[in-house]
Structure 1
Amino acid sequence: MRVKFCGTAGLADMQCAIDAGCDAMGFIMGVTYQSSDFVTPKDAAAMIRHLPPFIEPVAVTHLQETEDLIRLVRDSHCTTLQIQDSIEPAEMDAIRDALPHLKIVKAVHVMDRSAITAGKRYEPYADALILDTRTTEKIGGTGIPHDWKISATIVANSTIPVLLAGGLTPENVAEAIRIVRPYGVDVHTGIKRDGVRNPERTLAFAREARAALPDDKVFMGSVR
């Protein structure tokens, strides 16, 4: 089970994630909705210099314009781009043409069963989907779970890897994984204590996630 910790805002956050054995680390940049723990591309690049090998740095952003997204990736030195807001699928091809080694993850907000159609729309253009929750004010980091049965349907019918986010915590991640069977899980607010990333909760989340299912029971998606 792959584990991504999002909202890395400083070296202390980074060390928590490294100590927990994360596979990926999210840096929130280019914010247009309410969000916490966001950084500048320059800040992210400085932190990424301290990142050990084999941990993927992910640019998590609300930006929608193609040139803005390309610039963000270049300036931050991230190797994966997570697009949280809406974008025309063809624009994702334009980003890939400019940055051929970049992996692109597209967020799908699971508010109702229309998310199933939304996921299918982006499948041909993304390397992975991430299923998240949104509110009027926030398009990520809400701390609110969504209907995992809908997410399970998306995973079961997807041809690419699907990550699960939205209100996950050390207390509920194992149940979520058993229901949804995603490729990986993503957490931001669920590993905080008193508004700060907590080492014990970060470690507990990774431990619970990886113990939830054997790898042969997890959907891996197709290879592009």
Structure 2
Amino acid sequence: MTKVKVCGIQDLKAAQWAVDAGADAVGFIFAESRRRISVEKAAAISNSIHEGILKIGVFVNASKEELEDIVEKVKLDYVQLHGDESPAFCNSLNVPYIKAVAVTEERDLNILPEYSGEFVLVDSGKGPYRGGNGTSFDWEYLKDYQSSNHKLILAGGLKKDNVRMAVSIAKPYMVDVSSGVESGGIKDKEKILDFINEVRAIKTDSESGELQ
């Protein structure tokens, strides 16, 4: 069953919509972004979400001290690193990490084996930010991607209308959505529910022997 992460959570209402719809993870952005959230607000939301939901913080080139401090304050399960963090830096952390890689061409995937975290995230390299731009990349790059060391998280321009195709090609462990469940830049309850229902329907199709 493909997991779902709803990223760019900015208030408790949106977090609750995601949880109620069946999301497996929520993401808080602490890097430069129009969806950036304060540590205090993220901590309050995190404390209101039950422990079964993964809480993931998104960072770009933050220091080790900042990462570990925010993990403790917000009770994050993972830090998601979208900057120039080296394998050595990531491995030095005392918190679980997800290395995000911006993909513009297939060879960008070559760096993934250098990271030893449980997960890797692939996102589009198009747009002004290190993620959350609402743009996608060619999922065919992932068609033959195999890793015995990582669980793959797919991000970048996903929405209800294209997530079925994305999953059928890339076969990720988890899909990560943000702008695809927004209206006017704000999280939309119905879009969150529709997106997660679409992903769950893919599970049903695959169990019957088909991925449609």
State the alpha-carbon separation in 2 of the partners of residues 216 and 107 from structure 1: 32
What does the per-residue CA deviation read over 1:4-49, in whole Å, with 9 as the maximum and x for residues that have no partner? 00000001111110121110000001x24xx122111121111111
Q: TM-score, normalised by structure 1?
A: 0.86
Match of 2:45 among 44, 47, 69: 47
Task: Specify the code of the residue in structure 1 equivalent to 2:22.
Answer: G
Q: Which residue of 2 aligns with 1:141?
A: 132
Residues 14 and 136 of structure 1: is their aligned pair in 2 closer, same or farther, counting only changes over 3 Å? Answer: closer
Give 5+ residue unaligned stretches, structure 2. Answer: none
Once superposed, which parts of structure 1, at least 4 consecutive aligned residues long, lie more than 4 Å away? none
State the alpha-carbon separation in 1 of the partners of residues 28 and 41 from structure 2: 9
Would the aligned equivalents of 1:131 and 1:151 in 2 still touch at CA under 8 Å? no
Q: Which residue of 1 aligns with 2:164?
A: 174
Match of 1:107 among 100, 106, 114: 100
- Percent identity over paired residues: 30
Q: After the TM superposition, which residues 23-172 of structure 1 pair with which residues of structure 2 at under 5 Å, given as runs? A: 23-29=24-30, 31-32=31-32, 35-96=33-94, 102-122=95-115, 125-135=116-126, 137-154=128-145, 156-172=146-162
Give 5+ residue unaligned stretches, structure 1. Answer: 97-101, 218-224
- Is 1:17 aligned to 2:18, yes or no? yes
What does the per-residue CA deviation read over 1:35-76, in whole Å, with 9 as the maximum and x for residues that have no partner? 122111121111111002300111111133222222221222
Would the aligned equivalents of 2:127 and 2:135 in 1 still touch at CA under 8 Å? no
- Secondary structure at the aligned position of 1:168 is classed as coil
Q: How many residues align?
A: 206
Task: Specify the code of the residue in structure 1 equivalent to 2:149.
Answer: T
Q: Which residue of 2 aligns with 1:206?
A: 196
Would the aligned equivalents of 2:127 and 2:133 in 1 still touch at CA under 8 Å? no
Q: TM-score, normalised by structure 2?
A: 0.90
- Secondary structure at the aligned position of 1:167 is classed as coil
CA RMSD, Structure 1 to Structure 2 (Å)? 1.8
What does the per-residue CA deviation read over 1:84-140, in whole Å, with 9 as the maximum and x for residues that have no partner? 1111111112113xxxxx431110111112222111222xx2110011013352111
- Secondary structure at the aligned position of 2:153 is classed as strand
Task: Specify the code of the residue in structure 1 equivalent to 2:55.
Answer: P
Shift of 1:215: 6.8
Task: Specify the code of the residue in structure 1 equivalent to 2:27.
Answer: G
